[in-house]
Every structure is written in structure tokens, then in C-alpha cells.
Structure 1
Amino acid sequence: MKKLFMLVLMIIVSVALLAGCGDSDSKTAGGDSGNGDSKQLKLAHNLGKDHPVNKALEKFADEVKEKTNGEVTIKIYPNGVLGSEKEVLEQVQSGAVDMTKVSAGALESFSKEYSVFSLPYIFESKDHYRKVMDSDVAQGIYQSTKDKGFVGLTYFDSGARSFYTKDTPIKTPDDLKGLKIRVMDSPTAIEMVKLMGGTPTPMPYGEIYTALQQGVVDGAESNPTALTTGKHGEVAKAFSKNEHTMIPDIAVISEKTWESLTKDQQKAFKEAAQDATKYHTEIWNKAIDQAVEEAKDMGVKFYDVDKEPFIEAVQPMYDEFKKDKDIAKIIDEIKSMK
């Protein structure tokens, strides 16, 4: 009986020890390294590992870890593995994901201020664009979604968006008449194409190739990398450089996560975000140049366009936007920076 009692006691102790180890492993898998002061955050987005934005986010994560002495680490989930852009943003709001990258166009439904970034020809040059995005005006817009559960942290250049079609170049707004053009699910983008004479057709980015191939749409609008990374240049052979918008990508962070950081950690995040943006700008310019050359090898022709007729066509949008005093003020501030 004594031996049996000792055997049972040993089994109980062993089970207790294993349970303790299991609890420790569970915490680590969930992002806690076991140190009560450390945390691992989730950052998810829908772009590929080789995309300049992902490379910039990797730099951001590395720098955050370094600047916080390992107190905060960030695990990146690229390629849409945690869901579409919209789905991941909803997860940021619920707290399931800490950070994501999202187009400013997709943020219009959360804050009217973000719609200003989608206005056609709001930015008169790349220098003007960067000056605005590095200003207090942009910082104010970043904070406009605080009550929605997230705030902006920094931006990434997404290039100038232009029209591309299967074979007919768009040199004037008249060339858009009767054409179905894929646009982002953005009220501003939809209204812009309407005013220019086309028929806007919102659809997810991943469906564009097949839609062009099957004639569901006649064209789309984006920057030149869509021709190569999205392979749209295999079916769309005319790229018209009217450069109607320069819509930034925005890195956003859960408001709850942000408030959980110490002041020093928040400072580290801001510094790392600024450095990531600078790095992205460098590699993005090279990526655009490379995309144009690769697209030409695919048989895509690039056409220069007189922008004035397009600017005149969308003037009613500015008249409508300026009916809102807050938006009018932002537009005037942006225009004053040119």
C-alpha cells in the first residue's frame, strides 16, 4: 500500500508540473514571452512579402524591437492570411489584430477627413504630396478615427494612379465614355470616374485580372506596379499617365494597443514609423521605375496625357466638398503648401 501511495503521489506531481509547463507555453504562443513587461503585437496586411510596403513594415518591426530593448516585438502576417483589408481593419477595431496597413480610400467610411486624400489632383506634385503627408494636417487626420478604435501612425507612398485599358488609351475624359472602369470601393473614386465620363465599377483588387480578361471591365486605375505585380499588363496594354490621384497607404494601430504602450514605447513607435516611411520612399521609387520597364517588356505602351481637361471635369467635387467647413479648411491648408 505504501508503494502504491508513493506511485500515485508521483503521478499527481508529474501532472501538475506538466500543466504548469503547458500554461507557460500557451502564454508564449499568445505573444507573451513570460516577462510581464514584454508583449508581442500582430500586424497583418494584404500585400506580398516582396512588396515595398512589407519590407518597410519589417524595418519598422525590427526598429521597434531594438528601440524598446525587446519589450515590444511585432509579428507580421502578410499576403492577406488573416483576411482582406476590410476584414483585418475590423479585427484591429475588435482588438484581435494590433496593426494593419490600409489605403486612405478605404478609411473614408470611418472619417470624412480621409476623403480629402482621395480628391483628384489635390496634390500638385510628389514634393507637394510628401510635404502634406509630413505635416500637422496629416497628423490631425490620423487622429480622426480615435473614436472608431484605431489611429494612424504613418503613411506609405502608393504612387500616382492613372487609367489603364486593354488597348485604347485614355487621353481625354471623352475617351472614358461608355467604358466600365474598376475603382476601389470609395465614394470619392466612384464620383471621380462618373464626372470624367466613365462607368465606375467597384470590386476587390484580386478580381481585376479576370475582370479585364473576360471583359467585365474595360479598364482600371492604379499605379504601374499593378501591371507587373498584379500581372494586369498581360491583358491591359495601354497605360495613360493622367495621374489623377496620389492616395497614400496608412499604417494604423489599435487605440487600445496604443494606450497600453508606455510613453517611451510610443516614442519608439513614432520614430520607427518615420524611419520606415523614409526607407519605403527610397525603395518605392526604384520599384516604380522597375515596374515601368517590366511592363514595357510585356508590351504595355505608356501615353503622356494633358491633365487640364481631367482637372476641369472633377471641379464639381471640390465645390461639393467645400460645403463642409471643416473639409474646406483642410483643402485650403493643403493647397497652401504647394
Structure 2
Amino acid sequence: MRFHRIYFGLVTALVVLSCSDENAVKTLRLGHGLDVSHSVHKAMVSMAEDLAERSGGRLKLEIYPSQQLGTERECLELLQIGSLDMTKVSVGVLENFAPKMKVLGLPFLFRDRQHSFDVLDGPIGEMLLKDGEKYWLKGLGYYDAGSRSFYTMNKPILKPSDLEGEKIRVMESATAVNMVKALGGSPTPISWGELYTSLQQGVVDGAENNPPSFYLSRHYEVCKYYSLDEHTVLPDVLLIGTYAWEKLTEQEREWLNVSVEKSIKYQRKLWAEAETEALREVEKAGVEIIRPDKTPFVEKVSEIFESYKDDDEMYPLIKQIQETN
């Protein structure tokens, strides 16, 4: 029901981009689920300012944070039907709409942060962004979302066996579900907005996410153990619906692409600072930060990679990513 309410409200409220006057002001509406203090939102605000200046006020961006227009999945669906122009989602959610994206959710796929940037900013990353176009979703670029690690309420995760019997919140992502299962935990898909209450009520025993998200969500008030196993590097993806993209002129597309690129560089700088601050602040709040040996975790999930050996599309892509210098 919630999706239908959002849909009917937006169908009447959102600006239609088609316009006969090339000098008329066009407004793109961008909905996302993050808090206004998040580095991604700050980068989007910077992008909106740059876009307005670059276009002389002819192309504007209106931003609706904090799930005002729906969850990540709902925003993607709104893009597909042309009732929302832009959104930001985690790759973990996007894989349900653009199947090749699931490769980025594989645990311990990247050697380090720089390796992930080399892949995402290169030909492989560009190819993956294009994968959603046949589903009416055009990828514009990747925001840094760091590495995801486990945080729990009742005990620290020092080794994979510590996850046995633990209900761990995951995104609506088959790859995330398979990873937690392979490590011995019980994956439980729950939307981000419902997670704090679910932790409080004991619906789940823990979750997994990056340091800024752990901190800004205030989940550290409930979960006092944070184990930095850094199992996945899941970027956020900025998207525009193909309906909105096709209504932009070539000049407007160029303005938007340049503003997007600038915002990505700015966000990655903010993200590095936010990670340091988040770990410092949650530790001050009484969270025990654990840096476990990653080797047992890597070995435990190797079966996931083995399961792709007969996949003529995915397995070569995995090898290509692993071999990227």
C-alpha cells in the first residue's frame, strides 16, 4: 500500500521534463534513504549547487533524503515508471534490478580500497552501470560506501563460528543472504529504516554495514561489538531513470555528468573523513572494536566463488575483476 500511495502522489506532483522551450528551467527530483548528515547527501547538495551554476539555473536538482519518497527498492521502481528522476541505492539492492551488479556483492572480491576504485572507475565499472539501462535505470557513477563489517548485541564476532545461530540483518540481496549463510549465520532481510527497532526488540541479533552508517544510524546504542572483518565493498550507485535521461538535451546531459563526477570526488574525500570520525565516536560510546583475522572468513566463503564456476557470464567477470591491477 505504501508504494501505491507514493506512486499516485508522485505521478501528479513530479515535474515532467519534456518541454518545448530549450531555455525553460528543468528540475530533476532525486530521492534517497540516507540522513542529511551522510557524506553522500552532502555530495548531492554540492552536485545540485554545481549543476545550477553550470547550467545558469536552467537545470536544477531537488533532493528528498531520509526515505521521504520511499525505500531504495521503491525509489528504483519509481524511476522505472518515470515517476521519479534520480536516486541513490546500494549495489546490494540494485542487483535485484540489474543482475550483473551482484558480482560487486561477492565477499572479499577486492584486495583493498584502491583496487575497488580501479575496477569501478574503469571499463568494468562502466559496463556494470550500463547493465541497468534495459531495465530503465541508467547508472551515472559510484559513491564510496567503504567496507561492510558485522556488529552485534550479545557477543563479538571473532571467527565465523561466532555467527552460528545469530540472526543477522541483511539487505534484500541474494548475494548478502548467501554470504551470511556460508559464514554460518541466519540472514534476515529487513529494510534500513526498520532496523533500529528490530535490534531493540531482538528481532535480529546484529547487522552488517560500514562505520559511518553504523554511527549515523545510532545502532551503536544497541550493538556494542563491531568486528571489522570488512567482508564486502558495496558502493552506492547514483542512477537516473531512462525516461528522465531521454528528456534531457545533449547539453543538459553533459552538465549533469560533469556535476556528478565532481560530486563523486568530493564524496570520497568526505567518506574517508567520516570513517575515521565514526570509529572514534562509537569507541567513545563504549563499542568494542575488533579486528579479527580475515583468513578464516575468506576460506569460509570460498564455496560462493566455486558456485559460479559453471556460469559463463559471471565467472569470467569475477576473474577479470580479481586480475585488475
Q: TM-score, normalised by structure 1?
A: 0.88
1:317 aligns with 2:293: no
For residues 198-247 of structure 1, the C-alpha deviation after alignment (integer angstroms, 9 at most, x for no partner) is 11111111222222222221111111223321111111111111000010
Which 5+ residue runs of structure 1 have no aligned equivalent? 1-27
Name 1:133's counterpart in structure 2: 120
- Is the partner of 2:307 in helix, strand or coil? helix
Aligned partners of 1:227 and 1:234 also within 8 Å: no
Q: CA deviation at 1:298?
A: 1.1
d(CA) in 2 for partners of 1:116, 1:30:
35
d(CA) in 2 for partners of 1:29, 1:318:
43
- Is the partner of 1:321 in helix, strand or coil? coil
1:210 aligns with 2:197: yes
Aligned partners of 1:240 and 1:303 also within 8 Å: yes
CA-based RMSD: 2.0
Name 1:36's counterpart in structure 2: 21
1:46 aligns with 2:40: no
Q: CA deviation at 1:91?
A: 0.9
Q: TM-score, normalised by structure 2?
A: 0.91
Alignment map for 1:1-338 (pairs within 5 Å) = 30=15, 36-37=21-22, 38=24, 39-338=26-325
d(CA) in 1 for partners of 2:122, 2:177:
28
Aligned partners of 2:139 and 2:240 also within 8 Å: yes
d(CA) in 2 for partners of 1:29, 1:145:
23
Q: CA deviation at 1:329?
A: 2.1
Count of matched residue positions in the alignment of Structure 1 and Structure 2: 312
Name 2:10's counterpart in structure 1: none
Q: CA deviation at 1:169?
A: 1.2
- Is the partner of 1:270 in helix, strand or coil? helix
Residues 35, 72 of structure 1: alpha-carbon distance in 2 compared, 3 angstrom cutoff: farther
Aligned partners of 1:227 and 1:233 also within 8 Å: yes
Over 3 Å off, 4+ runs: 28-32
Q: CA deviation at 1:82?
A: 1.2
Task: Name which one, 1 or 2, has greater alpha-carbon Rg.
Answer: 1
d(CA) in 2 for partners of 1:138, 1:43:
22
d(CA) in 1 for partners of 2:316, 2:32:
32
Q: Which letter maps to 1:241?
A: L
- Is the partner of 1:264 in helix, strand or coil? helix
Which 5+ residue runs of structure 2 have no aligned equivalent? 1-12
